[in-house]
């Protein structure tokens, strides 16, 4: 387990531990129930290391989850250009840390207040609370957007503008079910399909052409 990730749940662990102790004084069933919840909390905040592909042409998923949509649209917050958006839905069973899709410097980070509608809805990208990031290197700028969901209500940022991140390095997380979007240049070849399950920092989602 990774300490920084576990610290995000310190109050959850503390409260469940207290409940488990109190429950043990009442009945063994309450003790077992709160121990189960404590185990589930540890499972949710797991944060395994990943094998990251080193080829600079390869762009990796920014989150674990299921590919829900791959669409062309204008990205007007940073790039002001038509892009291909890859949407990833994170269920409560997925790892919820977010990872850099490329080697690059963080050149943009902006939080936006919003709603917390179901992250599987197509309109959640415009309505939900979000944090938008830009990762830039000499070859490309990739935009990543973290979105809250009906259960997820907290976006955590571990990195900041100016940080240099390696591909697959953690930059934040979203608590509980949510959505992460990766905005790719049209010149990139997408190698995943809707319905695929991807692993953040490890699964290749697109490839840049050789230069």
Which residues form the catalytic set? Answer: 178
Alpha helices in the chain (DSSP H): 3-7, 10-26, 28-44, 124-127
Phi, psi of 44 (to 5 degrees): -65, -40
The token pair at 182 is 């990766």
The answer to whether residues 201 and 50 touch, using CB atoms and an 8 Å cutoff, is yes
Q: In what order do the strands lie in the sheet with 58-60?
A: 58-60, 204-207, 189-190
DSSP 78: T
Q: How far apart are CA 167 and CA 142, in angstroms?
A: 12
Q: What are the angstrom distances between the C-alpha of 143 and each of 29, 62, 100, 116?
A: 48, 10, 10, 21
Q: How far apart are CA 149 and CA 174, in angstroms?
A: 9
The token pair at 72 is 């062309």
């Amino acid at each position: 387990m990774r300490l920084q990730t576990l610290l995000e749940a310190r109050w959850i662990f503390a409260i469940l531990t207290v409940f488990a102790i109190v429950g043990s004084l009442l009945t063994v069933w309450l003790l077992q129930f709160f121990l189960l919840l404590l185990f589930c909390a540890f499972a949710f905040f797991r944060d395994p290391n990943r094998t990251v592909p080193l080829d600079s042409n390869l762009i990796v998923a920014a989150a674990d989850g299921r590919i829900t949509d791959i669409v062309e649209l204008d990205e007007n917050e940073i790039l002001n250009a038509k892009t291909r958006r890859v949407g990833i839905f994170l269920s409560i069973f997925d790892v919820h840390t977010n990872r850099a899709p490329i080697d690059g410097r963080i050149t943009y980070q902006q939080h936006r207040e919003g709603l917390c509608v179901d992250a599987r809805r197509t309109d959640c990208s415009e309505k939900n609370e979000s944090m938008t990031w830009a990762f830039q290197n000499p070859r490309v700028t990739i935009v990543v957007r973290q979105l809250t969901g009906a259960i997820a209500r907290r976006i955590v940022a571990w990195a900041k503008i100016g940080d240099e991140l390696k591909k697959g390095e953690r930059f934040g997380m979203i608590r509980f079910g949510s959505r992460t979007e990766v905005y790719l240049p049209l010149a990139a070849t997408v190698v995943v399909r809707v319905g695929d399950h991807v692993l953040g920092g490890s699964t290749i989602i697109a490839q840049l052409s050789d230069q």
